[in-house]
Structure 1
Amino acid sequence: MASSQMAGGFISLPTCGRATASSAGAHVKHLRPMNAELIVVFTERHRLGLTATPYMVEPVQENQPIRIIEQATPERLNDYDRPFSELQQQVVKTLDYLSDRRLHKKFSREKTIKEFYDKLTNDTLEKNIRPEIEKRMLECIELLALANDTPAYFKDAGYSHLYPSDLLEVSMVPSEAVFSFELTPEALDYRLLVRDLGRDFALTGRQPRFITHAPCSFILNNRLYRFTDIDSKKLQPFIEKKHIRIAAQSIPTYMEKFVKNCIRDFTVTATGFDIIEREGSRKAILSLEMGLGQQPVLILKFNYAGKSYLAGTKSSVYVEMRHTNQRYTFVKLQRHTDWEQQIVTLLGSLGLDAATDCYYRPHQMLAHDPQLSLYNMVTWLTANQATLTEAGIEVEQSQMPAQYYLGSSDIESRVTEGNDWFDLRILVKVGNYYIAFHKFRRHILHRTREFELPDGTYFIIPEVWFTRYSDLMHFAKPGDDDNLILDRAHFNLLKEAVAVTTSLDSIAPDQLDTSAAFTTIDIPAALQATLRPYQKMGFSWMVTLAQNKIGGILADDMGLGKTVQTITMLLHFYQHQHETPPAKTEAPMQLSLFDAPAITGFNQSHLPPSLIGMPTSLVHNWEHEIRKFAPSLKVYVYTGQQRIKSKDIAKVLRHYHVVLTSYGILRNDIDYLSQVPFHHIILDESQNIKNPASKIYDAVMALQSTHKLVLTGTPIENSLSDLWAQMNFVNPGVLGTLNFFKNKFVTPITRQKEETGEQQELETRLKTLIHPFILRRTKEMVATDLPPVSEQVLYCDMTPEQQQVYEREKSGVRNELIRAIERDGMQKSGMIALQALTRMRQLANHPALVIDNYEGSSGKYEMILENLESIVQEKHKVLVFSSFVKDLQMIEKELETRQLTYSKLTGATTDRDGVIRRFKSNDECRIFLISLKAGGVGLNLTEADYVFLLNPWWNPAAELQAINRSHRIGQTRNVFVYRFISTGTIEEKIALLQEKKSKLADTFINSNNPIADLSEDEIRELFA
C-alpha cells in the first residue's frame, strides 16, 4: 500500500487503493475505516511557514510509517463511524481556517489556488495572512495542550515519511522565560533561559522551529514549547550568544527601563542588586477629574504602598526601583486582581458605567452636557458616599476648578399656623453648617445648582428641589429672623414641600368618596330642597373654604345644581347667626333710601349682604331659585333703569341677604358697588371675567368682600389664562402674576406639539396649585340616576346648487386669506381668517345666510326639517341650537309655512320668561329655537328629550352646555343629541379639530381652542 507522498512541502493524499477527495460520494462513508485516528501534523508550507494540518490516519504502528487516509475537515468528520470529542472537532474547525481553500477565498480574487500563491506578495502575506495564521495556530496549540486524544507530529520537509518517532510532546503547562542578571561596576550582563517543567536550559546553539511569534511558540527536540508572555524577538538573540553585555554608562537607563519591566513581567534572578517581594497597603480611589473637552469623569485607581495606577492596566505586578548607597533595589508588589475586580463589580452595582477600564460615568448621563454630567456625578457620589466608605473606596477631587461637598444634607422645618398665613422656619443642614432655606431662593428659581458654602466648597442643590420647592419659593415671602411667610391659600404647596399636616387638609378631596374627610355640616333647616349626596359634599366644601378664608371655583357639569348648592351655603351663613330660622314672608320687598330697616324677615344676621353677578339672562332664574329653595333669604335685584345709583347704596343693601346683578350693571356701577362691604361675592358663569384686561375683570377685582366664590361649567374657554383670571379673583396671587403664570405654565404646556416629560411635570405642578380650590364633578361621576344621553352625527350631502356656490366661494376666500397671511403674517391675519371661517360655515348651513339672491335649497335644512316633523308627530320636544340667529330665522319661516308651533329665544328676545314658559307648559309647542349665545346656559328645559346642534363650533364645552339644558337633574327620559354636519365642508374639519384640540380640557377641567390658537398650517388645512 503506497505511503503518503511529499510534494513541494505539502503532504500529498495517497492515491493508491484509497478514495480521493474527487471520488468521495454517496458510498464514501463506508470506505472509511472505523478505527481511523485523528492527528495533527506540523510542517512547512510553501510561502506560509510552519503550520499545522489535521489528518485522518490508519492506526499508528511502531516503527512503521504512518499511513494517511485523507486531510480532516469538519465536513469529512461526519463520514466516520466513530465519535470525536468536542476538543477534536474544535481543532479541526480551527485549522480548517488555514486550508488553501479558505485562505484563497478570504484573501484573494484569483480564480485558482495556484494563481493565488503565484501572485501572493510578501507585503500581503505579512500584513494580512500572517496575523490570521498566528491567531489560528495559537488557538490550535492551546487546544492540543488540553486534548490528550489528539497527538501532534512534526514532519521535516526533507523527509518523505511520517513516523511514530516524530510525535511531539505538548505540555499543559506553558513554559516560562527566566532572565538572569549580573551587575558589576564595569557592566551589566544578562541571559535568558527557558524554564519548562522546573528545568532551566539555554537556547544557545540550538535550532528552535518557531511556530508563532507573539506570544512565542516553537518546536525543539520533539517538544512543543509555548509561552504566554514573551515574543520571539526577545528569545532570538540568545540562540546565537550566551549573554548580552550592557556598558557601564548605559546601566542606569537600562535598569530603569528594561530591568524594571523584566522584574515586573518575568521571573528574574539577580546578582549585584536586590529584588524584594512583599505585600503593601492597598486602597481603591475614585477620583473626580476633568477629562478631555472639559468632560468630567470618575477615574478608578488602585494604590499599593503609596503608589497609584489606573484600573484596567494589564500588569498584575507593580515594581518600584530605588537607587541608594550605590546599590539598586527593586521592590516588587503583587496586585490583588480578585479584590480589584470586586471593586469594579461594586461600582457597576451602584449604577456606574465603565466608559473605559478606568473611566466611569453614572447610568444615562448626558455626556454632551459637561455641567449636567458634573452635577450627576457629584449627586451620585453624595448618594453612595456611605457605601463607598464601607467598601474602602476613597473619593478624591483632583485638579478640579472647584471643590464640591459630597456629604449628606437634611432639611429641618417648623411651621406655625396663623390666621391668614403660615410662618415657616426651615433650615438646611449641610455638613456642620445650618443655612436658612430662603438663601436658596434665587438658586431654586433660576435653576442654579451650585451653592457656595462658607468654607468655599460648593453644595450641589438636588434636582428634586427644583420641582418640590420652586412654587414654594415663588409664592412665599421673606419674614423675620430668616423665616418665610406663606399665604394660607397655598397650604397645598406647604404640604408637598415640607410634609406637614395643616388644619386645611380636608378641603382638597381627590375623589368623591373622600367626602368623609369633611366635617359634617348640617343642612340649613330653612332650605326648601333635598340635596343629593354630591350636592351635600359641594355645600360642605364651600362652607369649609369660607371658614378658612379661601375662595373656590365650583366647576360642576351643567345641570348638577351649582345654584342650589350655592343657595344652601348662603343660607347656612345667614341662618347660622340666629337661634331659629328667620320668619318667612309671602313676597319680597324692595326698600328705597328712605325706608326704615326694621321689617320682619330682612337681614338681621349682623352679616353684610352677598352679591351674585351673572349674565343678564340668568338674573330672573336666580331670583326664582332663591324664592323656591330659600324663601327666608331676602333678595335685592339690582338691575333696570330705576336702580339706586348712590355711594350710600350700602344703607339699603345691608337689609338684604342677597343682591343680584348683571355683569353689565356691575361694570357700569362699580363706583357705587365698590363702596359696599359684602359677605360673599359670587360670580355665576364666571368665564365672563376670563379676560384680565377687560373692564368687567377690573370691576369685580374692585369689589370688597370677606369671601369669594365663582360658578362655572367652563372655567377654561380659550386658554389657561382664563383659569388664572378666575383663580386670581377668588384667591389673589395664588397663581402668581399673569406674566409669571404665562411664562411658567401657559406657554410650555400649550405650545408643545408632543407631550414631554417636562410638560407633564408642569401639568402636575399646576394641578397641585389649583387642586384645593376647584371642585368639579361630571354627570358620569355623580348623577347615576340620570338617564343616558345618545349622541349621533348626521352627515348631510349638499344640494348641487349649494355645492357649486360653496366651492366657488371657498376658492375665493382661500386665495384672499393666503395672500393676507403671506403679506401680513398669521398673527395680523387672524380677523380675516375668522371672517373667512364664519362665511364658509354659513355657506355649509345654507347659502342664503350670506347670499341674498340665493334661490336654491340646502341639504342640511332639508334633513333638519324632515327630522323636526318626525319628532313633532311622535309627541317629543326638541331644542334646536344654532350659532347664527339668521339660521334660526330661516327655520322659523319654514315652521310657520308648515304650521308647526315653536318658541324662539335669541339675544333680541325681550320676554325671555314668556317664551320659556310657552315651551315648557304648552303641549303643542314642541320646538324651541335657541341661539347658542342666548340660551346655552341658565336654562332648565328637561321637558325636551331631543337636542339638535345645527353647526359645530370650536368649543366642545359650548355644545355640552347646550345639551345640558335638557340632560340635567330632573330629566327622566333618554336624551338624543343630533349634530348636523355638511359633508365635504369646513364643518367636518372643525369637528376633527375639536377632537384634536381637547387635551387641555381633559387635563385641567374644560377647554376651548379659538382660531387664535390655530397655526398657519392648520388654517391652510381648513381651507384646503
Structure 2
Amino acid sequence: MENFIVVLTENRHLGLLAVPYLVENMEETPSLSLNEKVDTSNPDKYDYSFTKTELDILKVLNKLNDKHLFNIYSKDKTIKLFYNNLDEKKLTDIIRPHIEKYMALCFDLLAGAPNIPVYFKDAKYSNLYKSDRINIYKEIAEPVFYFTLSEDGITYSLKIKIKDENLTLTYKKPLVICHEPCALLVKNVLYRFKDTDSKKFIPFFEKSEVNIQPRSVPTYLETFVSNAIKSHHVVHEGFDIIEDKTKPKAILSVEQNISQIPVLALKFKYAQKEYLANSASNIALQLNENEGKYTFIKYKRDIDWENNIVDFIEDHGLIKESGANFIPNNQNDSNAVKELIDWINKNYDILSNEGITIKQGNLDNNYFLGNFSCEFTTNKSKDWFDLQMRVVVGDFEIPFLKIRKYIIAGRNEYVLPNGEVFLIPEEWFSNYADILTFAEEKGGSIKLNSMYYNLLKTEIPTYNHTDFKSTLEGKDNKVPQGLQASLRPYQLQGFKWMNYLHNNNFGGILADDMGLGKTLQTITLLLKIYEESQLEDTEIEQIQQLNLFETSNLEGFNISGIPTSLIVMPTSLIHNWLNEFKKFAPSLKIYIYSGSKRLKSRELGKIIRHYHVVLSSYGVVRNDIEYLKNFHFHYAILDESQYIKNPNSKIYDAIMQLNCNKKMVLTGTPIENSLSDLWAQMNFVNEGLLGNLTFFKRQYIAPIEKSNSEEHEDKLQKLIEPFVLRRTKEKVAKELPPVTEQVMYCDMTPEQKKIYESEKSGIRNELLKTFEINGLEKSTFLALQGLTRLRQIANHPVFVKSDYKGESGKFNMIVDNLENIVNEKHKVLIFSSFVKDLDLLEKELNKRKIKYSKLTGSTTNRQEVVSAFENHKDCKVFLISLKAGGVGLNLVSADYVFLLNPWWNPAAESQAINRAHRIGQKQNVFVYRFISTETIEEKIMKLQEHKSKLADTFINSNNPFKNMNETQIKELFS
C-alpha cells in the first residue's frame, strides 16, 4: 500500500528542499522504499487518491520544481544551462528566499496534518529509514531573548518557549532548515518561527550566551535589542521597557510625490515619533539615555484608530494616490496645488475638530492654511451702491482695492506679508467678479452704479471661518486675585469668553487642543465666581472623602450665596483636577465624590454644600443619578465631554437630569464620528438651541454629512459659533509675529581655504587607510573627529591652529552684520556649538566697545547674565553656547538670531530660535544662518534641503555616521 510522504533532502544545485514521494511501507525492514517522486505539476496521473491537504502541499511545492524556477529566474535555453550558470550570490540572495518562503507554507500545512509523515534524509546516506521521521511542532515557536545590561556590557542569551517550558539550543546540534522565516530541526523536531531569521539562533548552537563589550552597548541597544523588543518576547535586566499609551495624533503633510505632484502624506505621531500611514511595523520604539540609564519607550500603534482616520479623510473627499499619499477626489494634475489647498481650507475646521494637524512640506510656495473671512456689504446712496469688502486671512487684513484687482484679473495667488501664499477661493470669484468688474473707484471708495442693481438681487453669502473672540474688557473680566498662575494670552481670552457666557447665562463648549490649559481656564472661572461671593477661611481639610460619621466635622463652615459646582470627568482624571485646584486655586474647597465608600444618601447634600466644587466621574453620576438629581448645583461642568456624545446612552440620560444653574463642557474632540456628537454636547449646555435630534438630523446632519452642503454647514456654524471656542496649538502659534530666515553664504579667505583643503585631504587619506585596516565600524570615530575639525576651520582656522594669523571669511561677515544690527539699535542672540567661537567674538566686541552678555556651560550667575541682557537697552549682544542656552530662556527683547554653524539635529536650531520667537515677542524675528561655501557645512545644508536618506541621518542623530556606509562617508570628505 502506497503512502504520501514529504522528504527534506539536499538538492545539489539548490540546497535543502521539501520533496513529495509516494512510498511503500515495508514493515519487515527499517528502510522505506521510495516508489516515485511525485510530479507536483500533474498529480492526476497517479493511481493514488490524494487528500485535499496533500493536494494543497503539492500546489505549494510546485513553486520549487525545476521548471518553475527555470521559468522565473533563468534566461538560459535549458534547465541544465540554468544550473550550470547559477552563481552562489544569485542562489543566496534571490532563489533561496523564494524557496524558503514556500517551504514555510508547506511546513504550516504539515503542522496541521500530523498524519502525513515527514522525513529528513541525511545526504551521507542513500536510503531513507523509518528512524529518519521527524515531527513538526504544531504551534509557532516563540524565541525569548534574555538581555542583561551591567558595567561589563550586555550578556545576551536565547531560549525557545514551548508550551510552559524553555528549550535551549546549545550543544544539541540544531540544523537550519530555512533561514528566513527560520525553521530549525532539533532532535527530530522541526520548530517554525515567524519574523525571525536564523542569524539570531546560530551563535547559540555552540555557546549559551553572547557578551557585548561596554563600548558597543549604545549601538547594540539601538539596533539588535530594539528590533528584538519590537518583534519578540524580551526578558531584560539593567534597562527599562515602558509602554507609552499616549494618544496618537494624525498629521496631513502637504508634500510632492516622486512625480512632483502635490499630495497629502498621512502620518501618525506617537509621542515624538512620526510614521507614514502605510509603514508596516505595529510597534514603535524610542531609546532614551539619561546618565547611563537606558529606557525603551514602546508605542503600540492603534491600527483601528489609524484606519478610522483614513476612513474619515476619505469620507471628506480624499482618495488614496499611492502608499500614504492622498489627493482630493476631483484633483487634476494641471491644477493640483489649488485643488489641494482648497480642500484643506474648506475642511480645516473639520480636520481640527477631528484632531488632524496640517503641515507643509516641499512645495514651491508656502501656502496659507487656516481660517479666513470675507465680509461684503452694500449701502444705497442715491444713484450708487457703496461697496465694502473686509477680507481677513489669519492675522492679516487684505485691502479691498488689492483684493478687487486680483478678483477682476482672475489671479488667485495673493502673497501675504509673511510670505505665505493665500489662494483666493473660487467662490469669491463666482460671487463677486461681476459686481467688482462693473464697479468704479471714486474718491478712495468702490461704488456700483444703481443700474447694476440686478447683480445685487441675490443675497451675497459671507464666509466666516474665524473663531468667536470675546473682546469685552472691564471689571467683569478681571482675573481673580487668588489665582496662583499667570494666564497666557489665549488662556486669558478663553477665560473672558467663558465669563462672557456666564454673565449672559449661556452654556459653552471649550474645545481647545490638549495641552492648551482647558482645566486652568475653567478653574479661573470658578475661582472668580466664588471669590466674588466672599470665600471664607476654614481649618477643615480641603480634600476629604467623607462618610455619614464625619459630618460633625463640618459645623460652623458654610459657603454663602452660591451653590456648589459639580465637575464630571473620567475617573482617571479626578486626581489631576484635584492637584490643579490645589496648585492654582488653593482657596477653593474640593470634595471628591467617588469610590466604593461614597455616601449614597440625601444626607450628601448637607455635606457638599460646605464645599465649592465636587469632583465625580461619569460612571458614578450614571449609577447615583437618583441621589444626585435632588441636589441643586451652580455649575455642571463636563470634562472630556465626548463621553456623552451618544444621546441614546445611559450616561447622556443621567447627565441631562442634573439640576444646575449653568453648564459648560470641555473637550478636545467635540465631533468624533458624526455631527450628532456635537448635538448631544450642545443640547446639554444650551438645550433646544439646535432643535430636537430628529430636526437636527433632517436639517443639518443629512445635508452636511451626506450631501456636503456648504450652505447648511455655514448656517450651523453661525448658530454654534458664539458657544464654541476651539483653538489648536497651530492657531496659538500663529499669534506670534513672523520669522524671516536667511542663509548667509560666506566665501573662505584664500589662506583659510588653503588650510581647509590641506586638512580635508589629510583626513580623507587617513580615513581610507583606516577603512582598509579596521573596517567601517572602527573608523567612524575618526571620521567624526575629522568632521568636527573641518567644521571648526570653516568657522575660523585659529580654532585648530593657534598660530594662525590670517582671517576668516565667515567671521568677517558675522562681525560686519553684527555691527550693522547694533548700530540700528537691535538686539541679537548669537548661538554657536563651539565655545571658542564665542570667545573670539567676545574679543572683537571688547575691541569695538560693544556691550554684551555671555552664557556658556561654565557660567555660574545665569540669571544675572540673562537679566543684564533683557533689562539693559545698551546690552545689544548675547553670546550663547548651544549646550547652555538651547532651552529654558525667555529672551524676547532680541529680534535677531545668528546661528554660526549648522547642527546635526534641526530641533536644536528650532530651540535656539524659540528663545526669541515665543509668547511675549512683539517684533518680527530675523534669523541668519552663516554657512562657509565649498565646505562640509554646505554639503550638510544641501543634503538636508533635498531630504535624502543621508540627511535623515544628520537630522536624527548627533553621530551622523551611525547609519552611513563607507561610500557615503568618503563622498562627504571628497
TM-score range, shorter chain: 0.3 to 0.5
Q: TM-score, normalised by structure 2?
A: 0.42
Q: Structure 1 length normalisation: TM-score?
A: 0.40
The structure with the larger Rg is: 1
